[in-house]
Homo-oligomer: A and B are copies of this chain.
Amino acid sequence: MGSLTFVGLGLQSENGMTLEGLDVARKAGGAFAEFYTNRMPGLNLEHLEMLIGKKVHLLDRTQLEEDGGRQLIAAAQKGSVVFFVPGDPMIATTHVSLRITLSKNGIESRIIHAASITSAICGATGLQSYKFGKTITIPQDEPLPQSVPDTISDNSKRGLHTLLLLDINASEANQMTIREAAARMTRARPSLQNALAVGAARIGAIDEKVKAAKMRDLPNTEFGNTPHSIVAIGKLHFMEAEALKVLCGAHDEDLRENS
C-alpha cells in the first residue's frame, strides 16, 4: 500500500524544506510539486531534483483542482510519493480536499510542515502573534469586496492586526503588489488612507524588506519584487511600537494613533 507525504518548501526556495523533508523525499519512490498556490521566486527545480536524487513532476491548477489530483493519487496508491508545496502545506483548500480523498481511499498521508507567511510575518515585523485577528486575501477581481475593509475595521475595533495576503494570478504567476493593494483599499474605503500599515516583501529572503507607514504612503516605498503582503495595524503594545520603529522604519508621528 502506498502513501503520500506533503512536504512544505517554506517561503523562498527549495532550501526552505526541513532536514526531515529532504530525508523523506530522498527515500520516496516518486516526487510531485505544485508552484501555483504561492510564488517562490528563489526556487530552482534542477537543484531540488539534484538534492532528492529524482525527477519532480509538476502539477498545475487544472490537474489538481478540476482533475482532482488523479495522477498524484494513482501514484500514491502504488508507492510512497512526496508532494512538494510552497509554504506550509494545507494552507490551500485544494490540498485539504486531496487529503480527504486520500484518506477515503485508504491511502496514508502525512504533512512535513514548513514556514508560512502567517507566522513569519511576526518575526519580520516584531508584531505579536496573539495580536492578529482574522486573515484575509485581497483577490485580483474588481471591485474590491467590501469584506476586505470590513475585516480590517472589525479586527481594528478589537485592537487586532490584520494580515492581508495578496492574491496571485494563477495563469501568469503574477502577484499583486503592495502598491496596487494599498491603492485599491484606500479607493474602496477612503478612511483607510490614514490607517497604519506595514508592507512586507520577500519575507525570509536575504533581501527582505519591511516598511511601516500610513496606508496612503505605502505606495511611495519601493518594495521590489514579489511576494508581497501587508499588515493593517490595530493597537500596539509598547514593544511592538518599538519594533515598528527600529525594524520597520516607522516615524513616531505615524504610530501615535495606534499606541
Give chain A's interface residues, CB within 8 Å of chain B: 6, 8, 10-11, 13-20, 22-23, 51, 87-91, 93, 96-97, 99-100, 103-104, 110-116, 118-120, 122-124, 126, 128-137, 154, 158, 160, 203-204, 206, 239-240, 242-243, 246-247
Contacts and interface: CB of A to CB of B under 8 A. Distances in A.
A134 B163 CA distance: 12
Contacts of A154: 158
Residue among A87, A130, A204 facing the most chain B CB atoms (10 A cut-off)? A130
Contact of A113 (B13, B123, B240): B123
12 contacts: A17-B18, A19-B51, A87-B119, A90-B126, A91-B122, A96-B126, A103-B246, A110-B206, A113-B119, A113-B204, A116-B119, A133-B133
Given A119-B91, A130-B137, A132-B135, A243 B96 contact: yes
Given A103-B246, A111-B204, A113-B123, 17 more contacts: A13-B20, A14-B19, A15-B18, A15-B19, A16-B18, A18-B19, A18-B114, A19-B19, A19-B51, A87-B119, A88-B120, A88-B123, A91-B119, A113-B115, A114-B114, A130-B136, A133-B133
Contacts of A15: 18-20, 23
Nearest to A131: B134
Given A88-B115, A119-B113, A204-B112, A100 B242 contact: yes
Contacts of A203: 113
A74 to B, nearest CB: 20
Residue among A17, A99, A118 facing the most chain B CB atoms (10 A cut-off)? A118
A13 B18 CA distance: 11
A88 B133 contact: no
Closest 7 CB pairs of A and B: A90-B123, A113-B115, A116-B119, A15-B20, A15-B19, A113-B120, A88-B119
Contacts of A22: 19
